[in-house]
């Protein structure tokens, strides 16, 4: 059991690093959007991504509801970071 828990912990740490990397990219996108005068929230793009991620997640055995909740949090934080990005 300890070996499996250790693997879970290492996987969780990788998830945190990847989400951190994603948020750094979101900040760069926020700066580019502000420079171009583009709105931060692109609802059509978000809808497209959600559908794609939901499809991919179900292939890996994750529920669509879980995927929606996960990306609710990720997209909310991405928008917050983009809105607070400075040019």
Structural domains of the chain, ranges and CATH numbers in brackets: 2-84 (1.20.59.10)
pLDDT of residue 86 exceeding 90, the answer is: no
Residue 53 pLDDT: 97
What are the pLDDT digits (tens) for 61-72? 999 999 999 999
Name the pTM for this structure.
Answer: 0.90
* Segment 10-57, tens digit of pLDDT: 999 999 999 999 999 999 999 999 999 999 999 999 999 999 999 999
Residue 87: is its pLDDT beyond 80?
A: no
C-alpha closest to that of 82 among 29, 7, 15, 22: 29
Report residue 10 as tokens: 């290492």
CB neighbour burial string for 53-75, b if at least 16 within 10 angstroms, e if fewer: bbeebeeeeeeeeebeeebeebe
- Mean pLDDT, residues 68-82: 97
């Amino acid at each position: 059991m300890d070996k499996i828990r250790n693997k879970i912990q290492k996987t969780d740490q990788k998830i945190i690093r990847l989400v951190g990397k994603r948020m750094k990219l979101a900040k760069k996108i926020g700066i580019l959007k502000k420079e171009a005068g583009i709105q931060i929230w692109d609802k059509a793009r978000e809808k497209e991504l959600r559908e794609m991620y939901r499809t991919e997640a179900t292939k890996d055995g994750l529920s669509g509801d879980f995927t929606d909740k996960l990306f609710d949090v990720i997209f909310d934080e991405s928008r917050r970071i983009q809105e607070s990005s400075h040019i």
